[in-house]
Structure 1
């Protein structure tokens, strides 16, 4: 059986979307004749924790761990709340305190490519010996954090191993880069490191077609799109539909994920239709940025909000199946066209209609259209058309006929995606 070494920062008990991709690849790789070995930090700082994910790890899996030094731990002594807010992505740029601005400047300009850079050297030293002694010829690095790709870069130079660099998100074009207050020198350093990784890796994996196009302008190395996906679920709890006309957003509502055209449409429907007003509920599961919540409340939706907060991945999947409609919102900017939230695939698996908002020609909108699992809108679309769509959903709900019939969703099953990955690795 071929052995591969996977180098990742996020691993159970980490919660959130970053851990799912390689947790699922690792689950299915042995089915295709590949033995994964996972290398992760011994003492990481995860902003979200989901202990239930530990149950998904095979007892036969080899997991290597080494200590990591993270400056965030020192910063948290100075301002724990501010540091956690920055790392979670919930900052309102217009309302930053001096401490937040300072921490962002330090984060952006002193820790390049990110605050896990100090794990690179000890990891290369440790893994060089392990790789040689265990005759491993293929390694995979997954980012962000993109400093992990520097581990792959150095191991490749030192040991001549075959190196696959997996980008769950872009590097220099990701939306939050312009919030890090980078100097011109820091911007140039990021681009230099990005170019080195893209031009040295033997194979590059990305999660969206737009990211592939961006990277093809930097490198001639082979680039493969293998998206995220969904896995089989087995619930012991009842997942019958909510009695209310529940529109649920599951996941973090970051600053900027704020389609006011939707809040206005819902507000007008509540005023114009008594039945809609009595039945409607806006359920927000996960962290919600203060400015987004203020915006929702400014349209008079406060008494219709069910603010749940963070839940485990399993609880989130149950909520997906109980909700009448699933809400998907991405920031409206050119940088987010390539972002396909991991929950898209679980949404399309759930059998519930998706109401999506994001930039024009966003990659995730194409997936929703191709799978026939919902409707997508821009932030600037005609409110009349949006209201008509919500009313159509509401009428179907009243008749107990609100559902969707997905097309071709099997291609996004985690095992099928792993089959494609295994094919690349065996080449």
Structure 2
């Protein structure tokens, strides 16, 4: 379809810069879409202080994108309002580190409090704890659709509540073209096992199926999720895979000075099965067998460490090797990756772990540093092997993990790896956006509305 001017595209995403979690995929799409004659407009929730912020807004890439930030009746916005009413400033999730001396006193209580709060929210709020955003987002989106004569929208999850906005808008505007983007699995997600009752699990499955069937197009990030969603729709429509990726512009500047020590780096979140505990245990054993390794090795985590992570570092005697930096800007994370001698990816074995394909693995590929991936068979392991960017060790293969660490130390950071440049090139953000634009143009998408 040929257009003489840019067509407005409405993107409905709960998170948007300056928030960090989950925004990079659509920030990059929004940056490149104008090259393909689309003008992105965004409806998102107002940022809160209860989450990581990137004050550089991903290199200013969203400065030219119109974003309408709405209110939301969810626990995070409510907590911020309560904090203001009490005359206290809400504290960012990228807060001060917890020292080892404080761990024993607070870790047990905090872990219990987190679990109790999470269970309560899982029981009361469906499909997730951002469902209070659906009403404000739908009203704001409907006004933009009417004002700008928008014909195409995108909803992106997580949270899954974003797709409820799509369902409501599709009901109000039947001719609207709706693309539902699943950045994460829904009922496949390891967190799905935390659904409090069989009724909750049943309703999740029903709602997932409704979204997949009602949407005009469905996109996700990896083949395991695509196969599941296609089966949910009884194979009545294709589910397209447009993976996450990297932006080659982020790697144009010179690499900073190397570290004085052999440096292994992890960037990103740690949660549930994505725990560094087994890595710390193996590292501790290897350190004891290698002469004077503490003088020449450091492991940097740019992440939000929980009290149990600090406790694990202390328990295995790694206080002089493991260094924790708070979650910084995207630019700082990329710079740290490029300066490293080796990069670490962690994905534990759990129900649904085969679908987990962390965004950072594509940035690791672009950094062209060897990767040690602790991961079960699945999307992450497949990507590391296909790209040739490093080695994969199964989470339960403790001896294999120790051997990989010895190899890292013996080779001064160089695993035997050979990059598959052709494979890596397909994950460039500009190329991925071109594929997205083709879907929006319906050039390679069957028009299901003809059959409705």
Question: In the superposition, relative to structure 1, how do residues 218 and 178 fare at CA in structure 2: closer, same or farther (>3 Å)?
Answer: same
Q: Any idea what SS the aligned residue of 1:291 has?
A: helix
Residue 183 of structure 2 is aligned to residue 178 of structure 1? no
Runs of 4+ in 1 over 4 A off after TM superposition: 43-46, 75-85, 92-99, 234-238, 400-404
User: Which of the residues 231, 241, 247 maps onto 1:225?
Assistant: 241
Cα distance in 1 between the residues matched to 2:397 and 2:74: 43
After superposing the two structures, state which structure 1 stretch, 334-343 or 19-28, moved more.
334-343
Question: In the superposition, relative to structure 1, how do residues 113 and 352 fare at CA in structure 2: closer, same or farther (>3 Å)?
Answer: same
Tell me how large the CA RMSD over aligned residues is: 2.9
> Residue 289 of structure 1: CA displacement?
2.6
Partner of 2:322: 305
Residue 215 of structure 2 is aligned to residue 201 of structure 1? yes
Task: Determine if contact 1:246/1:325 at 8 Å carries over to the other structure.
Answer: yes
> Residue 363 of structure 1: CA displacement?
0.4
Question: In the superposition, relative to structure 1, how do residues 221 and 405 fare at CA in structure 2: closer, same or farther (>3 Å)?
Answer: closer
Cα distance in 1 between the residues matched to 2:197 and 2:428: 42
Task: Please give the per-residue CA displacement for 1:9-61, whole angstroms capped at 9, x wherever unaligned.
Answer: 11110123x01000000000111122222122245565111111164235543
Question: In the superposition, relative to structure 1, how do residues 235 and 402 fare at CA in structure 2: closer, same or farther (>3 Å)?
Answer: farther
User: Which of the residues 314, 318, 332 maps onto 2:331?
Assistant: 314
Residue 122 of structure 2 is aligned to residue 118 of structure 1? no
Task: Determine if contact 1:14/1:46 at 8 Å carries over to the other structure.
Answer: no
> Residue 323 of structure 1: CA displacement?
1.0
Partner of 1:338: 355
Q: Following superposition of structure 1 onto structure 2, how do residues 50-199 of structure 1 map, counting pairs within 5 Å?
A: 50-53=54-57, 55-57=59-61, 59-75=63-79, 77=82, 99-160=113-174, 161-179=176-194, 182-199=196-213
Q: How many residues align?
A: 416
Question: In the superposition, relative to structure 1, how do residues 286 and 139 fare at CA in structure 2: closer, same or farther (>3 Å)?
Answer: same
After superposing the two structures, state which structure 1 stretch, 117-126 or 346-355, moved more.
117-126
Task: Determine if contact 2:20/2:54 at 8 Å carries over to the other structure.
Answer: yes
Cα distance in 2 between the residues matched to 1:190 and 1:401: 43
Question: In the superposition, relative to structure 1, how do residues 45 and 224 fare at CA in structure 2: closer, same or farther (>3 Å)?
Answer: farther
Cα distance in 2 between the residues matched to 1:123 and 1:259: 37
Cα distance in 2 between the residues matched to 1:93 and 1:198: 41
Partner of 1:89: none
> Residue 395 of structure 1: CA displacement?
3.2
Question: In the superposition, relative to structure 1, how do residues 217 and 401 fare at CA in structure 2: closer, same or farther (>3 Å)?
Answer: closer
Q: Any idea what SS the aligned residue of 2:73 has?
A: coil
Task: Please give the per-residue CA displacement for 1:166-199, whole angstroms capped at 9, x wherever unaligned.
Answer: 011111232223335x123322222222121111
Task: Determine if contact 1:124/1:154 at 8 Å carries over to the other structure.
Answer: yes
Please, which runs of 5 or more residues in structure 2 have no aligned partner?
1-5, 94-105, 443-452
Cα distance in 1 between the residues matched to 2:149 and 2:408: 57
Question: In the superposition, relative to structure 1, how do residues 81 and 291 fare at CA in structure 2: closer, same or farther (>3 Å)?
Answer: farther
> Residue 261 of structure 1: CA displacement?
4.8
Partner of 2:445: none
Q: Any idea what SS the aligned residue of 2:17 has?
A: coil
Task: Determine if contact 1:68/1:118 at 8 Å carries over to the other structure.
Answer: yes
Task: Determine if contact 2:246/2:427 at 8 Å carries over to the other structure.
Answer: yes
Cα distance in 2 between the residues matched to 1:269 and 1:223: 45
Partner of 2:441: 426
> Residue 224 of structure 1: CA displacement?
0.6
> Residue 120 of structure 1: CA displacement?
1.9
Task: Determine if contact 1:43/1:68 at 8 Å carries over to the other structure.
Answer: no
Question: In the superposition, relative to structure 1, how do residues 202 and 414 fare at CA in structure 2: closer, same or farther (>3 Å)?
Answer: same
> Residue 139 of structure 1: CA displacement?
0.6
> Residue 381 of structure 1: CA displacement?
1.5
Question: In the superposition, relative to structure 1, how do residues 52 and 404 fare at CA in structure 2: closer, same or farther (>3 Å)?
Answer: farther
Q: Any idea what SS the aligned residue of 1:337 has?
A: helix
Question: In the superposition, relative to structure 1, how do residues 248 and 272 fare at CA in structure 2: closer, same or farther (>3 Å)?
Answer: same
Cα distance in 1 between the residues matched to 2:160 and 2:415: 46
Task: Determine if contact 2:50/2:91 at 8 Å carries over to the other structure.
Answer: no
